[in-house]
Structures are given as C-alpha cells and as structure tokens.
A and B are shown apart, each in its own frame.
Chain A
C-alpha cells in the first residue's frame, strides 16, 4: 500500500514542473494570443540561473530565495523581449509573431552555451530537504513533497490572483475581448507585459525548482515543449485547473505505466492525448472555440490567381538558370542549390497546409524525416533498389500523416498546431530511442542513389525534376476541386459542411497529401546526403520549416520558395561562424520587425503590380 501511495505522490511531484510551465504558457496565450515558443527557453534559463545562484546562497532559505530570484530574473528578461520585440508586432498576423519568438530561442541557446558550457549540470540536492520520509514502510524523498507543496501554493496563488484582484479580473476580461477593455480605459500594453512576466516567471520557476532532481541542460528548452503542449491541449487552453489536472493525469500515468511496461512513457502520452481528443475534443476544462477564432493568418486572403505572363516568364527564367547551372557551377554550389530545392519543397508542403489549408503544422519535420527514414530503413533492411525505395519516402510519410492527421484535424487553429508538434515529438523520440531499428543517434548511413545518378550533376537534375515538380503539383492542386474544397474549409468550416463537404475528411486528406510531399523532400534529402539522423525529424527542423514559410510570406505562393532559399543560403553563410545562433536569431528578429509581410510579400507589395499579380491589402 505504502508503495502505491509513494508512487502516487511521485507522480504528483513530477506533475509540478509540467503544471507550472504549462499554466504559464496558457496564461500568456490567453491574453496575447501568442504561442510563445521561447517559453521552453525560459524554463531552461530558470534552471541554469538557479543552478548558479544555489551555489552562492546557502542553506534552506538560500535555496528557495535562489529559486524565486531566478524566476524573477527570467521574468524580467521576458519583459525585455516583450517590450523590445513583441510590442511592435501585436498588429502583425498571429502566426508571424511566432517567428519572432524563434529568434530569442536561438540567442538564448548560444548564451547559455557560452555561460554554462556544453555539459549537463547536475544540481545538488536542496538543503534541508535531502532526506526521505517513510510512508507505510516506503521511503519518499522530502524534496518531492516540497514540489507538491510548491504547485499547491502556485495553484492557490493563481486562483486568488485571477479571482480576487482587479489585475486578475482585467486579465480574464482581456482573454475574452482585448479591444473592449481598451475602450474601457485599460492600457493593454502594460497588461500584456505583466502577463508575460507572470507566465515566464512560472516557466522559470518550474525550471528552477526541478534543478535538484534533474539539473540543467541545453536541451531542456525543446524537451519541455511537447509535454506542455500536450498538457495544454488535454487541459484546455486558458484553463489553469485544466493544466493542473492534465499535468497530473500524464504524470500519474507515467509513474504507474512504468511499473507495468517500462518503455511505455511516450506511447502513454500518445494514448492519453488520443483518448481525450476523441472523448472531449476541446480538452478536459476547455470550451469549444468559436469557428475562425484561432489560427487565422491575418486578414482574409485574396483568391489565388494563375501566374501572369510576366511572372511565368520570371519562373521560366529561374528554371532555365537552374537547368544550365551544372555547366559552370562548382559541386559545392550545386549541393547548396540542391539543399535549397529540397527545402523549398519541404517549405512548400508546410505552406500548402498552413496558407491555403488553414492548418498550421508545428511538426512537419516528422514527415520530412519520416520519409527519409522510410527510405533508409527499407534500403538497409530489404536492400531494395533506389528506384523503388525512393518512393517509400512519400508513401511512408503519407501513412504517418494519415495516422497523426486523423487526430490533429479534429481540432483547429492553435490546438491543431500543438498536436502536430506533440505527435512529431513522439515520432522523433521513437526514432531516437529505438536504436536497434533506426540506429538511434548514429542514424542510418550509406544510402546512396543508383549508379546512373552517381554524379553530382545527375542527381542535381533528379532533384530538380522531383523538387520543382513537387512544388508545381502542390501549386496546381490549389486550382483543382480538391484545392477549392480545402480552401473553402479554411474560410468557413460551417458553410463548407452545409454544401456537402466532409470537412474533417477533406482536411485529413490535405494533411496526408502535404505530408507525402514533405516525405518526397525527405527522399531527395537522404539520397543527396547519403545518410539520415534523428535531427532531421527534430523540432528544430520543424521550426526551420516554419521560419522559411513565414519569412517568405504565408500569403504568397512563391513565399516558401523564397523563404527556403534565403534561409538555406543564410544558414550556409553563417553556420560556420562562432555564435551563429545569436546572429541567426537576431537576423530573424530583424526581418520580422522590418518585413511583417514576409520576403515574397514585401516584393509583391512593391513590384506586384508590375508582374500583374494582385497585391495584398
């Protein structure tokens, strides 16, 4: 009996960090409508700063003061970010604001590496709480009890703050209708800043408090994102009790699941999410969202038009240049251009889903990497010829997208996006952890094209054929009945349903189609590199894809190609420098501030009339 009680309490204590971080994310999203990806970085930063402070401040009180101080410090860093970056772009399309939160992730990664070094840091146990008490014969670490108490205090404190103070009332009102509180004389700016402080404070508090258990490491930022997104989706966005219950549910299932089936952690998370989504699609404590409330990418788009003659000429000219490139370009630049083409296809598949499809995928690398792994696995295990194995990429990715997509399209907007991220993280973890099959961290190597494609130039033309072909297929699809139906579902799910479109099915198939083309890009990629590693499925890769699309401009069909090319080139130029993350992160922020409509959107606005393309308003 004692064992089960202790096991239960252990689950409760590990729910603590999850709850703190997830509630912070939820609070920030509720008011600012920004999914703050930097949240994970604030969690990591909280842990690092606490690690350093605990070394200076001694004793029981020193420890807790360190924890609070590091959370405050991170809160202030977050306020700086909010005031310098986010304040300038609250009027920009919601999704574009996401990109602005990617910049600080990169900058914080480099700074943390510089200050605390590359090694994982192991936190000393908390002074005065390093023992264990015995519950019915089973020992229970004191610090776990302290964590339970901490989350209880925070839960109670948040309840009081939101229900018993004027500030809390204003925050709840702002969550419902930001413009209205402004018209009632409330300065939104400072409310946003305050909320950003509170949310980031909670993230850092979660990070700092778990130092004695888990230490601090440079991968904490991405590691925490998937679980907190799952917590938010299960609990219901904006609901603090929901975040608590969901964190508890996942943690308890974890600690008890491990007893029955040690490798079950990931699968359990997946199953819980699946069950909740089927039974209560809007989360345990969430409310059904009003149609079109989330995930709208700015103002409604103009209908797409076929390319004008001038634009067609430009396209033909670029294609012609690409075709003659091998005559004079070095192998090195051919590889760079191949990367650009492959990633353009990847970005175009994300754009297809996000722009015209209205479904934002935060985890599209699952299908890019999934396609690549499908090729690599089939080649290394069955020794199929490349001519066959190549097509396993799109097929495998399509199958994966059909599976994940079935769940994802049950939700819309930001929830759908979070689900895609969570599923992608599951896929990544499976590849990473299932070493016997996938080689784990060592990846799969020696996947080369057939001899007739052996030369760089030959494979270049092969890449060009499938890469450009894939992008044209994606574009062409928008002007087919399938594309019309998909765009109709984006513009109004209700009206589409009322004219006989099965919205879920339409979106599901669009999801799978986009996944298949991401898989095609993965196929091209694996043969151009000769190898595949789990990194290609990681969140960082998914985020690269998002940055490409959003930098290029969501509302232009040329956007993803422009964005991917620019990003690949930029990455190539600066990734050889020291502090390249700081540079890239700062560049991203600058581009977001300077061109809120994206690169292609900017050119279209300036030169669109000349090309006979309608400009966005």
Chain B
C-alpha cells in the first residue's frame, strides 16, 4: 500500500478506521479505513460489487458497521442513526437516486431542507437553481416524471438542501449521457470550490480523474490501493487488476 505523503490536509473532515460491515451473516466490508480532508475529493474506486456502496451506507449509518470507528469533524458518529449523522452535516447521495417519485421537485428539495450550518456552504433554492437550471423549470413536475440525468441532479440538490460540509456521492456518473457527465464534473468542481469534502465512488478511473485528488481502490470489501490520482494514472498494473476498463 502506498500513502499520499505529499498531501497533508490541515483539517480532517471524515476519518473511517477499520470498519467491518455485514449483511446478515455475509461479511461485506473488512478493515476499511479512509480519510478525507476539507475541500478534498476522494475517489472510492472498484468494480461492481466491490463494496463501494456498502462503505457509503456504513458511513451514513444505513448499514451500521459492526466494528471500527467513524469520526466526522472529530466526533465519533459510528452507531448513530442516519438522521443524526445527516444532521451533523454529512450528506449522502445514493447510487439509485431514490427520488420521491410522487413528490414534486420542490417537495423533494423540501424533504432535504435542514437549518444553516456553521462552517458549511449555505444553499438556498435560488442558489441550487443557479447550479441546476433544469430543475428550476421543472419545479412542479413529479420526481418520477423527469429524465435520469435530471434525477441525478435532483438527488444531489436534495442532499445539498441539508447544507452538508461533506457528501458521499455514490456513482454519480452511472447511466448518464456524456454531455450530462460533463455537467456533473462541473458541478462537483463547484462543490469543491465551495469547500465541500466529497467521497465519490466510481467503477472506472476516467470520470474520477477529472475531479478527484486522491483515490482508494476497494475490492471484495478490502482496501487494495491508496494514492493520488496522478500516481494511479501512472500505474496500469493496479488499474488493470482492480478496475473496469
């Protein structure tokens, strides 16, 4: 395992140490450790079924880990129910989007609304509609009646309504048209420039390489590689071993 000595983040936002998670009796995650600093984007890479989504669900508390600790802003959040973790300022954008289909776009956003938070960017509806102009036009449309790309934007906007200081983005580029993927890259860079920390999961390197600072590769529920994105790009062996081409 290599480390990323050249990046010393002055402020660790989220620190996951040695977590183990189970679905029933199936041992899904084993000794997963991650760290992300303020304004940093960490790519969590791995093939389908490697354990990326479970890692995110474990962090947000939907699949509480059986062992290990998770520190967010210096506080241990492991074992807290998801709503409390979310209220600490950790946002979660699920892979399957989980839009409330019968609720309008505005109502979907309303569900995510949380009070303004110290040290985190504050999102109003206007600011979100600036970031996602499509959503503004569709505001009264039911969430189930918009395109996949719009749903992906909506699910991010909905999480931003909680004014998080860090977000977990689970495969945001999945199933999107290339032009929308470009828009997604812009969006993520905007979030970074606002000071948000992001953990981004992806199956391949291409999308992550545009936005991420560092990468962690996970396979069969274990960490296989850690390094900067540049290092990873120069390392075809690791890429071929653990990532989809």
Contact = CB atoms under 8 A, between A and B. Distances in A.
Tell me whether A and B are bound partners: yes
Interface of A: 166, 169-170, 172-173, 175-177, 179-188, 299, 617
A617 B27 CA distance: 13
B110 interface: yes
Interface of B: 24-25, 60-62, 81-83, 86-87, 92, 94, 98, 100-103, 107-108, 110-114, 158-159, 161-162
Nearest to B81: A182
B22 to A, nearest CB: 10
A166 B110 contact: yes
Contacts of A187: 81, 83
Contacts of B162: 184-185
Contact of B83 (A175, A188, A617): A188
Contacts of A170: 111
Contacts of A172: 100, 102-103, 107
12 contacts: A172-B103, A172-B107, A175-B102, A181-B111, A182-B62, A183-B61, A183-B82, A183-B92, A184-B111, A184-B159, A186-B111, A187-B83
Listed from nearest, the 7 A-B pairs whose CB atoms lie closest are: A185-B86, A182-B82, A617-B24, A180-B98, A617-B25, A173-B111, A183-B92
Given A169-B110, A169-B111, A299-B24, A184 B103 contact: no
Given A176-B101, A183-B83, A185-B114, 11 more contacts: A170-B111, A177-B100, A183-B61, A183-B82, A184-B86, A184-B92, A184-B112, A184-B161, A185-B112, A186-B111, A188-B83
Contacts of B102: 172, 175-176
A188 B62 CA distance: 13
A179 B100 contact: no
A182 B83 contact: yes
Contacts of A180: 94, 98, 100
Contacts of B62: 179, 182-183
Contacts of B113: 166
Given A166-B110, A169-B103, A172-B102, A184 B25 contact: no
Nearest to B26: A617
A231 B103 CA distance: 25
Among B82, B92, B102, which residue has the most Cβ atoms of chain A within 10 A?
A: B82
Among B25, B101, B103, which residue has the most Cβ atoms of chain A within 10 A?
A: B103
Contacts of B61: 183
A613 B159 CA distance: 46
B83 A185 contact: yes
A169 B82 contact: no
Nearest to B144: A176
A133 B161 CA distance: 55
Nearest to B113: A166
